[in-house]
Structures are given as C-alpha cells and as structure tokens.
C-alpha cells in the first residue's frame, strides 16, 4: 500500500534541503514553533546544518552554506 511509504520514501535519509542566510535565526524560530530537529546543529566544511522532520516524517537539512 502506497500510504505506508508516506514519510519514508527515502528509507530514512535526507532528500530535501532548506537553505537559509541566517541559520541561528531560522533554527531558533523553527524550534519555537515546535519543529522536531533530529540532531544538534553541526558545522561542516560546506556550512552549518541540522536535520529536521516535516509533518509527514520526511527528513530535511536546514543549511546555511559557507560563502
């Protein structure tokens, strides 16, 4: 049944990306609105990132790329 795949189309991997120009601002606002982050923010060579889940369980990266 296809409905059983909602929120798990990628087998638990991130496949959506939300780019921001101010990670701290948007991460804070999202936390205040109850967004479920699956990890603490981390700093990578490409920028600051944290994984969060949408209402259907799909995993996203909130990311501020290094400029």
Does residue 5 or residue 67 have the better pLDDT? 67
In order of start, what are the domains of the chain with their CATH numbers? Answer: 2-65 (3.10.180.10)
Task: Give mean pLDDT, residues 39-60.
Answer: 94
Distance CA 47, CA 32 (A): 23
Range list of H helices, the chain: 23-32
> 2-35 pLDDT, tens per residue?
676 666 666 678 889 999 999 999 999 999 999 9
Tokens 């990628």 locate to 10
Cβ-in-10-Å burial (0-12, 13-18, 19+) of 50 comes to: buried
């Amino acid at each position: 049944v296809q409905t059983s795949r909602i929120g798990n189309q990628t087998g638990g991997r991130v496949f959506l990306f939300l780019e921001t120009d101010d990670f701290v601002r948007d991460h804070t606002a999202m936390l205040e609105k109850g967004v479920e982050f699956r990890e603490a923010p981390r700093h990578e060579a490409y920028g600051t990132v944290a994984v969060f889940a949408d209402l259907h369980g799909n995993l996203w990266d909130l990311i501020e790329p290094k400029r």
